[in-house]
Chains A and B, each alone.
Chain A
Amino acid sequence: MSEPLRVFIADDEAPARERLKALLGDIAVEVPTALAGESANGLETLERLPAATAHVLLLDIQMPGMSGLEVARHAAGLERPPAVIFVTAHDRHAVEAFELNALDYLLKPVRAARLAAALKKAAAAGPVEPERLARAAGAAREYFSVAARNRITLVPVREVLYLRAEHKYVTLRTRAGEHLIEESLVHLEREFAGRFVRIHRNCLVARGAIRGFERAGGDADGEPRWEVLLEGVPERLPVSRRQWHAVRDAIAEARRG
């Protein structure tokens, strides 16, 4: 390896970061590395990572603010995403998910030999496909992310009023504005099934954002057409005829529950 591997360390405990740095020093002959940066919680990791140009991310799982599993999913959207090695003290569920999806992980206390092996493997294999990370995470994300060269913009899922597919992008609408993400509406519908309901082939609406429905005149063949009125934004979203009954039932159920 001619060029040292750039390693980014994310762990909320300072002594744990010290430990990893010391170990990187110990294995420098075997695996030459340079410290690309470090961070002490999930959000900080995503703030610093884009500028750090890291090859490998050593990522603690239990971090305040955002778990390492979600951090990895957002980092995967970067133009040059780092390979990820998860680090955990004791999290049976996470470890099972890693094993199942063939993701690299280290157990704390981390040993030098294991670290060296994991780094070599990660450097060779490169970044992990986002689908595998999604499967390992199991739960829905708390943020959507838009990654650019120098920045990852996070949009809290609870602020999103609706998602609309247009060409190869999905538009996220919040009270404050719009964001484009490159994901499939079908996957989003599955991941956030409890929060969003499909009202149209190209549109998912947050159940909590629906203020009501209004008739928007009839079709050519006289069938009524409905539109969704939303909390806080003026636009009305057409409900497709196919979805109307499902939408109405879902909303009625939500109101009762």
Chain B
Amino acid sequence: MRRKDRAHSMASISQNPRADGLPDLRNLGVIARILVAVNALAFAAALAAYPDFAAAVQAFVRSAALVEPVLIASLATLWLAAPWLARLPYAAGCAAVLVLVALLAAGAHAMLGEVAGADLGRALAFALASAALILAWLRLRERAFSPALAEARLAALQARIRPHFLFNSLNAVLGLLRREPRRAEQVIEDLAELFRALLTDGRSFVRLGDEIALLERYAAIEQLRLGERLRLTWELDAAPVDALLPPLVLQPLLENAVHHGVEPAAGPGEVRVRIERRGERVRAVIENTLAPAPEGAGHAHRHGSGMALANVRERLALFYDAEARLETAASDGRYRVEIDLPYRSGAS
């Protein structure tokens, strides 16, 4: 059952990218979750209203006279309306569900209100609040387990390999091969490490020490291509190498700095990487001198500058929610990206 579901949703993602909508209201799992959740909420409400446990249980049973009919009627109506609701965009679908539940609750109250001993306002408030909470919960669940997320992550990962960088690096190795075979070997090894990291699953944390090693391998390749033009300064003495962070958070930022700060500059460009621990936070700053911006708009270098940043920002949000920050600033001919993360040690 589950496998079939997954296969079905995968197919729908690749063949017919449906705008995301409500959860499948005919799915037994979804119905079971709604049943349990509504009753749990009713019980919690009773507990909150009556400090005495026995009184709360009594209140819960009394409220059931109103809650259960509304719940069953809602589920039945939603089951019937599911094909129609599924065609609505998510927000409209939610609104429709809420209206439906409110109507059913009002109707049930008109018929059974006296038995349950609740006034209309409270009944409506409870019905709407439960419906909204359950919708939000199902939404979160769907997101967390959705194969679409894994697919999006993969797509994002692929977007981070700048083809320009790959082909130029390969070309540089070929240029080096005859005169300095040893160095060429090293570059290929560095490239291999870099691509191994780029192609691994982006869902598990890595040690900062490993991420720094990756930065150094990447920098070695760029140094070979750009020579004197790339002036790199590392300030890593206070970097907590045992800290854990999502993979490939720093490398795209360094790549951005080189791509926008050094490559288009006629003279040498400086890039500075500083990583340090400040109390329970890890801070990384990547700073580059700005290449004088040409007036013409036809410069490929300006193209897609925000992609890597948006990508890193999105992944930080996925991993840390509001606990991580990414800030950028441009001043005095320098561009600066700062990342601030909670310090979590991977030593133990």
Contacts and interface: CB of A to CB of B under 8 A. Distances in A.
A142 interface: yes
B96 to A, nearest CB: 44
B301 A62 contact: yes
Contact of B224 (A15, A17, A62): A15
Contacts of B291: 64
Given A18-B179, A90-B164, A142-B296, A13 B225 contact: yes
A140 B295 CA distance: 10
Given A62-B263, A90-B163, A19 B171 contact: yes
Interface residues of B, number: 32
A141 B176 contact: no
Interface residues on A, range: 35 or more
A90 B291 CA distance: 21
A128 B172 CA distance: 29
A67 B263 contact: no
A109 B227 contact: no
B300 A91 contact: yes
A108 B294 contact: no
B172 A13 contact: yes
B263 A108 contact: no
B56 interface: no
A118 interface: no
Contact of B227 (A14, A43, A69, A141): A14
Q: Looking at B170, B173, B266, B291, which has the most chain A CB atoms within 10 Å of its CB?
A: B266
A142 B171 contact: no
Given A22-B175, A158-B295, A16 B263 contact: no
Interface in A111-146: 137-142
Q: Looking at A15, A16, A43, which has the most chain B CB atoms within 10 Å of its CB?
A: A15
Given A20-B175, A62-B164, A89-B171, 9 more contacts: A13-B168, A13-B171, A18-B175, A19-B172, A19-B174, A41-B266, A91-B164, A93-B300, A142-B296
5 contacts: A16-B175, A69-B298, A108-B168, A138-B298, A142-B296
Interface of A: 12-20, 22, 41, 43, 61-62, 64-65, 67, 69, 89-91, 93-94, 107-110, 137-142, 157-158
